[in-house]
């Protein structure tokens, strides 16, 4: 009896246990993993992917033409443990007939929760308040000390009313938001109806919103969307939140807007680059809250993401429908 030829799978990082277990149970695969919580160096990635039939990667792994060439003709499936795919050279992947799996939906709630946390943390100045308690700045109750901005009766602008944008709006409604605005590629009347959200131009959203939340995908159209012109159109009392991708924002322009008082505050869960250098000017500002890209960072969500990524990979290798395939 001829021995069954195993399909080689390369995993670019340690992944949560549920995904790891699914791969371990796959008797038709030989799995090699970069055994670290830190990103794999480019040379090691090229070595590991050589001859692989399947690649399970993260959003920090740049899958470009060079890496695809290093992988060779065996590569049939790329499964990314992310909803974003801007790290993948999709045109090149499509040319080679490689299938792509990704993990939408499963991180929507966790990311929306984080967006709410970041919004409230920023607009109510919580890091500053905590620091004042620690350094002795809290001397007595003062009428205007540590005042921030409340959500009740406010106008909220959401850039990108997709799954995550809708989940954020749904969580914001009970806070008594007076008006929702949104912008994107096109109006989404069915989705917007739940919030009575109004589709407007980007300049109108910038000018009329008290709070702006960026929840769009990174595309050529959205890269650098939030720039000097955008910030100059915002209210001086407005708060800006980005949970999408760092490249949607021109960070030099954001720094100027914050430092000059053009806008009140900003909260970022994503930056360019990641991690942000510790000497970056944005980190010198009290009115800028920066988190280390933890939108989906709950134990349950990351486990579910890893399992979906593993199941996408295995289904693709076996020529079956993927649970979540990106149609190229």
Residues classed as catalytic = 293
Coil vs helix vs strand at 292:
coil
Q: Cite the beta strand spans of the chain per DSSP E.
A: 7-11, 29-33, 54-57, 77-80, 99-101, 155-159, 179-183, 198-199, 211-214, 239-242, 265-268, 288-290, 325-326
DSSP code, position 175 = G
CA distance 16 to 20: 6
Residue 22 structure tokens: 């699914």
Contacts of 317 (CB under 8 A, 6+ apart): 7, 9, 28, 29, 53, 54, 76, 77
Largest CA distance in the chain: 84
Contact in structure between 107 and 121 (CB atoms under 8 Å): no
Contacts of 170 (CB under 8 A, 6+ apart): 112, 194, 195
Contacts of 130 (CB under 8 A, 6+ apart): none
Strands in 155-159's sheet, in edge-to-edge order, are 198-199, 179-183, 155-159, 211-214, 239-242, 265-268, 288-290
Contact in structure between 288 and 258 (CB atoms under 8 Å): yes
CA distance 198 to 25: 49
Work out the angle at residue 193's Cα, subtended by the Cα atoms of residues 187 and 194, and round it to the nearest 5 degrees. 130
Work out the angle at residue 126's Cα, subtended by the Cα atoms of residues 267 and 136, and round it to the nearest 5 degrees. 135
């Amino acid at each position: 009896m001829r021995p069954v030829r195993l399909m080689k799978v390369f995993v670019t990082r340690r992944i949560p246990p549920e995904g790891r277990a699914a791969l371990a149970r796959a008797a038709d695969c030989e799995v090699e993993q970069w055994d670290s919580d830190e990103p794999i160096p480019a040379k090691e990635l090229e070595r590991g992917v050589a001859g692989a039939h399947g690649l399970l990667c993260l959003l920090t792994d740049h899958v470009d033409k060079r890496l695809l060439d290093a992988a060779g003709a065996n590569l049939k499936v790329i499964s990314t443990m992310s909803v974003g795919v801007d790290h993948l050279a999709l045109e090149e992947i499509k040319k080679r007939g490689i299938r792509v799996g990704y993990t939408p939906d499963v991180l929507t709630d966790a990311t929306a929760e984080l967006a709410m946390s970041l919004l409230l943390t920023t607009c109510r100045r919580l890091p500053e308040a905590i620091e004042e308690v620690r350094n002795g700045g809290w001397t007595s109750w003062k009428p205007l000390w540590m005042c921030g901005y409340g959500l009740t009766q406010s106008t909220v602008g959401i850039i990108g009313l997709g799954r995550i944008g809708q989940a954020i709006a749904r969580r914001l409604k009970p806070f008594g938001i007076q008006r929702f605005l949104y912008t994107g590629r096109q109006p989404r009347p069915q989705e917007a109806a739940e919030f009575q959200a109004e589709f407007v131009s980007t300049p109108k959203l910038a000018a009329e919103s008290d709070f702006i939340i960026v929840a769009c995908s990174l595309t050529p159209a959205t890269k650098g969307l939030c720039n000097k012109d955008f910030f100059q159109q915002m209210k001086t009392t407005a708060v800006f939140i980005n949970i999408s991708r760092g490249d949607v924002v021109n960070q030099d322009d954001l720094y100027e807007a914050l430092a000059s008082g053009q806008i009140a505050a900003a909260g970022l869960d994503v930056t360019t680059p990641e991690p942000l250098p510790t000497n970056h000017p944005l980190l010198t500002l009290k009115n800028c809250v920066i988190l280390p890209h933890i939108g989906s960072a709950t134990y349950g969500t990351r486990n579910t993401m890893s399992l979906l990524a593993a199941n996408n990979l295995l289904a693709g290798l076996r020529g079956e429908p993927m649970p979540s395939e990106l149609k190229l």
